[in-house]
Structures are given as C-alpha cells and as structure tokens.
A = this chain, B = another copy of it.
C-alpha cells in the first residue's frame, strides 16, 4: 500500500475530540451499514464530569456549585477604544449599482447604523437597561456561565421555571422584552414563569472580566449536548420548561430533551429541526405541493423546487466557514466592530424576512430598532466572543458529535446519517412565516408528543421581534404540557 498523509487531526487530541472534517461520516452508499439506517445508536452516558476550564480544576469542583452575582460593567477604556474605532473605521466599499443586500450586507445601510452607533447610542443608558434583571456567574465544570435569573412570586399563580436559550448571532438580550410577559401575571393565565436565561458557553459570558476570552472552553470537544447547562438544574431537581428562540438554543435544548427527559416538563421551540430522510423528501415534495406541509396562508414561506437548494447554499456560507475555520474568521470579527456588525445585521435581515434582502433598508426598523440590534452586537464585541461562539459550530458539525445519534445535521449528511432519538417530552413547535430554518414536514417523526403546532407571522428572531405573541404561544404550550403530565403521571 502507498503512504498516506497523516490524518488532519492532532496526534495528541483526545479521542472523540475530532474536527468537522476528520469527521463527517462518509459511507460510499446509503445503506452501507444496514442496521444503522433503521436504528439510532444507544444513548450516550455523558459523565457530567469533564473539566472544560483553563488550567487544572479546584479540588471540589464536582461537588461545589459556585454562583456569584454579576452586573454588566464595561471598562471605560474599552468604550473609548470602541468610539475611536467607529470614528476611524476604514471607508466602506459601496454596494454594486442597483443592489440592495443580494451580495451581502449593504454598506449604505451599515453606514447608517454606524452613524447611529456613534452619535445616538448611549451605552451608559443601555448598561442600566441590561442590568434591570438579576444576573449571576455560574462556575460549572470550569466554564463561566453568565445567567439572567428573574424570580417571580405572585399570589394565586403557579410558578413554572423556564430555561430560555438563545442562538447565534444572538444573546440573552433577545429575551429582554419577552421576560416581563413571562414574569408578570397575564390576563387569563394561571401560571407565571421563573426565567433562567444563560448566555451560551463561548458566547458572551463574563462581561465583568477583562480576560474575556475565558468564556469559551479551553479544550476542544465542547459540543452542544447541554452538559454544563444541565448540571445546576439537575441539582435543583426542578421540572422545567425548555424554551428556545430557535437556532443554536433549539439545538442544545433538543439535546437536553433527549438526554434528560425526566427533569423536563416540556420543550418549546421555534426551530423544531427534523433532518430525517422522510422530512427531506417531504420538504422537497412541499416545494411543488406546499399544502402537504404548511397551511394555505403560509404557502409563500416555501420556495419553489428550483430555488430550494439555492436557498440552502446561499444562506449557509457562514455556517460552512464557522464549522470549519472558526479561529480564522474569529480574528477579524473579534477585532472589527463594524465587521461583526455587518456579519450580524445580515443575519437579522435575512432571518427576519428573506425578501428584505431586496430592500436597501433591509426592513430592519420594521422589526427591531438600531439600538436593540447594537445592544446585541456590543455584548458580543465587548466580550470578544466571536471566535468562541463560532467554535460551537465546529464542535457540533463533526463526526464525534454526530455519532452520538442525538440529532441529525442538515443537508449532506441526511442520507448517510444514522437515525437519531426522538424527543419524547411534550413538545410545542412554533413556526414563523419568514423564518429561514423552520421545519415544515415530518415533525411528529422526531417529536411524537407534539402537543401544539402554531404558525405565525414573523421571523427567525421571534422572541426579539414579537415578544407578546411569543409569550402567548409559550403560555398556551405550557398549559398543554401541564395538562399532559396530569393525565400521564409517569412520563416515560
């Protein structure tokens, strides 16, 4: 046999810590492993005892949960530096004649946002806004998790704890308008929520610290199985509602719902992800016969067949790059405030309504305010979380993680991937008309306990864009979850 080049994985990398591409299961033909086509692998036993921190752990890290109160305070020198960077950024390349956002972020609009950022955006006031809810730093398995925790007590209302999880390029900021609807009594409701909203590991996680990059884990392999997040809740022994604003939050909570069903009241998601072969075929068929998958007034959320793969290709470049070279693209995004602004705003435009790519103003002000969007950008840029947040993609789209069989990934691995475990906890899926990622078909294949399926106007960042509507969807879902558990004393 001829000599092979060494595989592209560091020789000293621990087993199971492989990369995206050392990685994707490639089998020459579908059905190569007959058994794996029909059966998911046994659920992994995760030890919850991996140390993800920098340097050696403390002796008592497995038994002692460290919680510190936290307030967001950004050192003034960072703010001054930012001001200088915004004042002196290099001139933007003008968009091509007649183009809005078809080649990506329109720089005329970006300039408008930058001007607002420079002249009207007031961080002192925004810091007060962001600190309106109690926040804590949790030290779990070596990770520093920044959590917003809003308790609620109200006579005559049952308090239900809810875990809200954001995605990329978002942050807990997306939930700030939603939280009052959940923590103050609402007319006609009998429950009220205790909100627990952590920043994702690797995403902004320690605004108070100057050594900001410690938010991410030190070693490779931190996939989205929710282990660090599950730990404190397991200790609390509370039955919780999991709720995601779609995107990566949904992916992580999906994992938790599969792995830890006994501590979960129900799963509410606005990105119910079904990447089974059947879903794939039904989604394809839906491009020709939309009534198969969505109700008539949502038909126009489906692309015709001729645009189906184009849509996927056009909107997944960021994912492709972040899953393979997070550390490369992270350098520019950590360094350049206008660069990360462009990168994020493009997502908020396309995610909220894909046709807004055709409008020079991107429709941004119809759904959000520049101020609120900049809040989210600030949170990422000030904490330098670009690289560590991108790495979550690399840790998810790899063979080791994929092999767990907890969740299939999209597109190329659909045909070859092993079936995954269904989410057996009561589930509610909210679909938003202009969301890029919402699943249309075969939802019950992966969510057999789907108790609620709703279709709304709105986009990918639904909780941020339409907090009241989102809250009502959530209340409806939780009422059904409670009803379900009343009738099924033992879930499993």
The stretch of A104-112, A182-190, A367-375, A482-490 in contact with B is A104-112
In Å, the complex CA distance between A100 and B12 comes to 11
* Minimum CB–CB distance for A393 against chain B, Å: 10
In Å, the complex CA distance between A98 and B10 comes to 7
Is A19 interfacial (CB 8 A cutoff)?
yes
In Å, the complex CA distance between A90 and B332 comes to 10
Instruction: Chain B residues near A7: list those with CB within 8 A.
Output: 307
Q: A6-B355, A8-B102, A339-B336 are in contact. Are A96 and B299 (CB under 8 A)?
A: no
Instruction: Chain B residues near A341: list those with CB within 8 A.
Output: 331
A24 engages B310 (CB within 8 Å): yes
Q: A20-B313, A219-B98, A384-B90 are in contact. Are A103 and B394 (CB under 8 A)?
A: yes
Given contacts A9-B102, A104-B326, A104-B330, 5 further A-B contacts (CB under 8 A): A21-B307, A93-B331, A103-B391, A331-B341, A332-B340
In Å, the complex CA distance between A61 and B343 comes to 38
Proximity bits, A74-115, B CB within 8 Å = 1, else 0 = 000000010000001111111111111111111100100000
Q: How many copies, total?
A: 2
Q: Which of A331-366 contact B (CB under 8 A)?
A: 331-336, 338-343, 346, 354-355, 357-358
Instruction: Chain B residues near A303: list those with CB within 8 A.
Output: 5
Contact pick for A316, options B320, B328, B391, CB 8 Å? B320
CB closest residue in chain B, given A321:
B317
Q: Which of A458-472 contact B (CB under 8 A)?
A: none
Q: A2-B300, A317-B317, A358-B6 are in contact. Are A342 and B346 (CB under 8 A)?
A: no
Q: Which 5 A-B pairs have the closest CB atoms?
A: A332-B339, A104-B328, A21-B314, A104-B325, A317-B321
Is A422 interfacial (CB 8 A cutoff)?
no
Q: A3-B299, A98-B220, A354-B5 are in contact. Are A324 and B313 (CB under 8 A)?
A: yes
In Å, the complex CA distance between A106 and B342 comes to 24
B104 engages A335 (CB within 8 Å): no
In Å, the complex CA distance between A213 and B91 comes to 9
* Minimum CB–CB distance for A262 against chain B, Å: 33
Binding site for B on A (CB under 8 A): 2-13, 19-24, 26, 28, 81, 88-107, 110, 213, 216-220, 290, 296, 299-301, 303-311, 313-318, 320-336, 338-343, 346, 354-355, 357-358, 384, 386-388, 391, 394, 412
In Å, the complex CA distance between A13 and B4 comes to 49
* Minimum CB–CB distance for A222 against chain B, Å: 9
* Minimum CB–CB distance for A450 against chain B, Å: 25
Contact pick for A21, options B23, B310, B328, CB 8 Å? B310
Instruction: Chain B residues near A321: list those with CB within 8 A.
Output: 317-318, 320-321
Instruction: Chain B residues near A306: list those with CB within 8 A.
Output: 26
Q: Report which residue of A4, A357, A391 has the largest number of chain B beta carbons within 10 angstroms of its beta carbon.
A: A4
A96 engages B220 (CB within 8 Å): yes
CB closest residue in chain B, given A306:
B26
* Minimum CB–CB distance for A318 against chain B, Å: 6
Instruction: Chain B residues near A317: list those with CB within 8 A.
Output: 317, 320-325
In Å, the complex CA distance between A309 and B301 comes to 32
A8 engages B290 (CB within 8 Å): no
Instruction: Chain B residues near A300: list those with CB within 8 A.
Output: 2-5
Instruction: Chain B residues near A216: list those with CB within 8 A.
Output: 93
* Minimum CB–CB distance for A203 against chain B, Å: 13
B97 engages A218 (CB within 8 Å): yes
In Å, the complex CA distance between A356 and B300 comes to 48
In Å, the complex CA distance between A7 and B358 comes to 9
A-B contact pairs, 5 of them (CB 8 A): A2-B290, A20-B314, A93-B331, A96-B219, A320-B321
In Å, the complex CA distance between A339 and B386 comes to 12
In Å, the complex CA distance between A155 and B27 comes to 62
